Amino acid sequence: MRLSTKSRYGLRAMLDIAYNCGPEPVQIQDISRRQQISPRYLEQIFQNLKRAGLLKSKRGPQGGYALARKPDEITVLQVLNAAEQDVLLVDCAGVNQKKRKRKLECPFEGKCVTQSVWAEANTLLETLFGSLTLQTLCQRAKTMGIESENIDSLVGTI
């Protein structure tokens, strides 16, 4: 399985906001600098995260982006789904949750043994990603000794 840069960068950016800024808005240039991600690409990713209700934005000189919910209320799965739409190993093993239909009709539907393997693996991944929150990742970053630019906000989130 290979996640796209949208999901990897989206998760890194969300973690960056949780770890470095807490509830305060942060400008995209600061996230871009810390994570070495193009600001233009971050803007594209942030549109999906805003639509999913994970980020909020504020205009003006004190504006920027902030988490729409507390770090312990945002899971890795939510971030990945917002960026990717679906996190699947293979299309034929997953159900598109919005349409409740298979994303791809498979000529081996109902007679493919491996389809059940992919479905089980998807379930395990969803369970793992759904159990990890941004707060969990913040705690791991702290344990790893990763410096936060704003220690006051970090104390409030962990």
Reported as a pLDDT band with limits 50, 70 and 90, residue 101 is very low
Which candidate, 51, 41, 59, 49, places its Cα nearest to that of 17? 49
Q: Which residue has the higher pLDDT, 121 or 22?
A: 121
pTM to 2 decimal places: 0.83
Q: State pLDDT tens for residues 127-137.
A: 999 999 999 99
In a domain, 36, yes or no: yes
In a domain, 92, yes or no: no
Interacting residues of 106 by C-beta distance below 8 A, sequence separation 6+: 92, 112, 115
In a domain, 64, yes or no: yes
CATH number at residue 59: 1.10.10.10
In a domain, 151, yes or no: yes
Q: Which of 24-33, 61-70, 101-110, 124-133 has the lowest mean pLDDT?
A: 101-110
Q: Which residue has the higher pLDDT, 43 or 102?
A: 43
Answer whether 122's CB lies under 8 Å from 88's CB: yes
Dist CA 50 CA 42 (whole Å): 12
Q: State pLDDT tens for residues 51-98.
A: 999 999 999 888 899 999 999 999 999 999 999 877 777 777 665 444
In a domain, 32, yes or no: yes
Q: For 56, phi and psi rounded to 5 degrees?
A: -130, 155
Expressed as residue numbers, the domain containing 28 is: 5-85+133-157
Number of domains in the chain: 1
